[in-house]
Amino acid sequence: MEHVNTKEMNLYLIRLGEISLKRLNRNFFEKKLKNNIKLKIHPYRSLLTREKGRFYLYVSKDCPEEIVIKTLKTTFGVVGFSKALVCEKDWPVIVENAKALIENEPFADDTGSFKVECRRGDKSFFMNSYQIEAELGGVVLDRYPDMKVKVKDPQKELRIEIRDKAYMYTSPVPGPGGLPVGTAGKGLLLLSGGIDSPVAGWRIAKRGLKQDCLYFHAYPYTSDMALQKVKDLARIIAPYNQGTNLIVVNFTECELWIKDHSKEDEHTLMMRACMMKVANMIAKARDCRVLVTGEALGQVASQTLESMCFTNSMSDIPVLRPLVAMDKEEIISTARQIGTFETSILPYDDCCVIFSPKHPLVRPEVDMEQKSFSDMNIDELLAKCVAEAQEFEISYHV
Ligand code: ATP
Ligand code: MG
C-alpha cells in the first residue's frame, strides 16, 4: 500500500454492486475500477482500499470536492457513493463535522425527507442514540428548513456511528452503475454529430467497452462547426469512457465518387458501406475488436434489417448496435441524462449533405449491393482516407 497520511484526506464510501458479486475474476474488475478512479483524480493524490464489498476512497484535501463528485458520477462500476467523515468523539466537533457533511449532495438541494440514524457502539458516550439523532436532526433542519423528518423510508439519511471515533456519512448519491471501462476490451465508435451515436457509445461503455471514436467529415460541404460539435460530444462522453481518441476522416472525395459511380437510390447505402469498410480498417490498426454504431432497427431507410445485413457484410469484425431495440424517445431521454442532447441538436450539417436521394433503397439485397459496391472501384480512395486520417486525443478528466 502507498504510504499516505489519511488524516490529510477526504473520505468517500463507494458501493460496487455487480462487480462485488463476481467470483473468480473480481480482482480484475476491482483493479480496473481503482485505476480508472485514480487516473481521473490525478494529479491529486488518492488511495483506495476495499472492505466488505465497498471501496474506501481517500482523496487529498487540496482536490476540490466537485472533481471527486463528478469523477464518481462518471465512472462505470460505481453504484453509489457518500462522503464520510471521521472525527474525535467530542460533541462540538461532531456537530461541526455534521454541518460540513450536509453541505454536499444528497442534502444540498434542500428538498425531501430525511432522518438521522445513530449507532452507539461506545455505550459510555454521554448522549444516547436517540439524543444524538434528535440533536443532529435539529442541525439539518436549521440548515435546510424545507426538509421534513421521516423515520420510515426517508429520501436521505445522515448516519453516525460512535465507536473508537465518530464516523459519519450520508446516504449514497447514485453513480452510473455498470462495469469498469476497459474490462470488456476496446471498440471503435462511429460517432456522428447526431443524437444516437453518443448514446450508443455511452451505453456500451457502461458494459465495460472502452472506445476510440471515428468521425467522417465532408469538408467543405460540412463546416468546421460540425467537426467542433463532434469534438464537443466526444468530450462529454470521454470521462465515462476513460478518455478517447477521436479519429477524423475526410470523406468528401469518397462521397463525390459515390455520387458519380452509383445509382441515386443506392447513394446512402454505398456511403454506409464505405464507412463500415473504412471503420473496419481503422479498428484493426488500433486493436479495436468491434465497431459500435447508433443505429436502431427501422429508424430510417439505411437502418432496416436488410440494410444492416448489407453494411455488416463490409466488416469482418462484429458490429455492435446498442440502440437497436430502442425508440427515439428512449434514446433522447438518455441523451438528456448524460448531457449530449443539447449539443446533438445544434443545427450543423451531417456528412450526407452531398447527396440525399429522394427515394433511398429500403430493402436492398446483399448480393446485388455487394456487386454495386465493387463496381464503384472505390477501394483505393478508401485506403487514402485511412492513410490521411487525423487524430485528436480527448482527456478523461471531468
Ligand atoms: P446519429 O444520431 O447517431 O447520427 P442517425 O439516426 O442520424 O444517427 P444515421 O445518420 O443513419 O442515423 O447514422 C447511423 C449511424 O452511422 C450513426 O449512429 C453513426 O454510428 C454512424 N454515422 C453516421 N454518420 C456518421 C459520420 N459522419 N461519422 C461517423 N459515424 C457516422
Ligand atoms: Mg446522423
Q: Given pLDDT bands bounded at 50, 70 and 90, which one contains residue 1?
A: very low
Predicted confidence band of residue 54 (pLDDT cuts 50, 70, 90): confident
| pTM given for the model | 0.92
Residue nearest to atom 31 of ligand 1 (CA): 192
Domain range spanning residue 52?
6-174
301 found inside a domain: yes
Q: What percent of the chain has pLDDT over 70?
A: 98
Q: Does 170 share its domain with 195? A: no
Among 120, 141, 174, residue at a domain's last position = 174
Does one domain contain both 192 and 163? Answer: no
> Do 164 and 29 share a structural domain?
yes
Phi, psi values for residue 32, rounded to 5°: -60, -45
Ligand in closest contact with the CA of 311: 1
CB of 197 closer than 8 Å to CB of 294? yes
Which atom of ligand 1 is nearest the CA belonging to 268?
11
Is 179 inside any structural domain?
no
Place of cell 469498469: 180
Instruction: Give the end of a domain, one of 152, 174, 196.
Output: 174
Same domain, 10 and 155: yes
Domain identity same for 105 and 218: no
Q: Is 56's pLDDT higher than 60?
A: yes
Which of 190, 302, 353 to probe ligand 1 with, by most ligand atoms within 8 A of CB?
190
Q: Closest ligand to 249 CA?
A: 1
How large is the C-alpha radius of gyration of the chain? 26
Choose the weakest-confidence range: 35-44, 85-94, 278-287, 295-304: 295-304
Contacts of 297 (CB under 8 A, 6+ apart): 303, 304, 305, 308, 324, 325
Atom of ligand 1 nearest to the CA of 302: 11
Atom of ligand 1 nearest to the CA of 272: 16
30 and 130 together in one domain: yes
As for ligand 1, residues whose beta carbon falls within 6 Å of it are 190-192, 194-197, 214-216, 293-295, 299-300, 302, 351
Residue with CA closest to ligand 1 atom 18: 294
- Beta-carbon count within 10 A of 225 CB: 12
In whole angstroms, give the CA distance from residue 272 to residue 337: 29
Q: Which residues contact 79 (CB under 8 A, 6 or more apart)?
A: 15, 16, 17, 18, 172, 174, 175, 177
Q: Does 351 have pLDDT greater than 80?
A: no
Q: Render pLDDT for 216-261 as a digit per residue (tens, 0 to 9).
A: 999 998 899 999 999 999 999 999 999 999 999 999 999 999 999 9
* Residue 350 belongs to some domain of the structure: yes
Looking at the fold, whether 169 and 220 belong to one and the same domain comes out as no
- CATH code assigned at 235: 3.40.50.620
CA nearest neighbour of 140 among 125, 120, 154: 154
Q: How far is the CA of 192 from the centre of ligand 1 (A)?
A: 5
Same domain, 279 and 141: no
CATH number of the structural domain spanning residue 146: 3.30.2130.30
pLDDT above 50 (res 393): yes
Residues 155, 21 share a domain: yes
pLDDT at 353: 66
Q: Write down the mean pLDDT value for the chain.
A: 93
Confidence of residue 4 (pLDDT cuts 50, 70, 90): low
